[in-house]
Structure 1
Amino acid sequence: MIFAAGLLVGLTGLVPAASAASCWDLWYERNAIYDRNGYCFSTNLGQRTFNNADCWTRNPTLSQWEQRRVAQIQAEERRRGCKVNN
């Protein structure tokens, strides 16, 4: 699996949240959506991973698709008990 344009992509296309290889993959995809929308990360991991140099907001506006995808990822993170950045 690779990341393309911030999305987790497998050989056959976008990978459903439940198919993500790890909690890290889920965390990364979710936060990549926020990063693309100018989110300024407050955690050390978020800042190290996404670099706040080009951020402009703590309250990004997400498209409907992005909102649904974030909700799907968060549901899968809860289901798995993920604790990547806690």
Structure 2
Amino acid sequence: MRRCISSGLPLGGALAGSGLVGSVLAILLAAGPAQAQSERCADLWTSRNEIYKARGYCFRTQRAIDAFGNAGCQYDAIEDVPLSANDRRAVADIVRQERELRCPR
């Protein structure tokens, strides 16, 4: 009898020919990368907004306000936030990665 490489469980049986096993496996395999991408997008979003928070940006979205608050903020317009050259490069790199991953905006 053939066995699953990762779990050692036997392959085959009543469900093997039904297509159900293949469908379940496809869902499980897809969930891993999708979850990893979602977590990576969240990390990138946090990293980008930490830069803006440290420089005094006043957040507008509820998500950002909940995460960072607006205490001590000074700049309502993101283009007015004084970013150093290093900050600008970091933000540009983060935005590029978010686009490549097709992270939600």
TM-score in same-fold range (> 0.5)? yes
How far does residue 76 in structure 1 lie from its aligned partner after superposition? 0.3
Cα displacement string for residues 48-78 of structure 1 (whole angstroms, at most 9, x for unaligned residues): 0111011011221100000000000000000
Task: Work out the number of aligned pairs and report it.
Answer: 64
Matched residue, 1:82:
103
For 1:79 and 1:22, locate their aligned partners in 2 and report how far apart those are by CA, in whole Å: 11
Matched residue, 2:92:
71
Return 5+ residue gaps in structure 2 as ranges: 1-38
How far does residue 31 in structure 1 lie from its aligned partner after superposition? 0.4
Letter in 2 for 1:76: Q
TM-score scaled to structure 2, two decimals? 0.59
Matched residue, 2:54:
36
TM-score scaled to structure 1, two decimals? 0.71
Return 5+ residue gaps in structure 1 as ranges: 1-20
Superposed CA RMSD:
1.0
Cα displacement string for residues 13-67 of structure 1 (whole angstroms, at most 9, x for unaligned residues): xxxxxxxx61000000000000000000000001001110110112211000000
More strand by share: 1
Q: Compare CA radii of gyration and give the structure with the larger one.
A: 2
For 2:68 and 2:91, locate their aligned partners in 1 and report how far apart those are by CA, in whole Å: 17
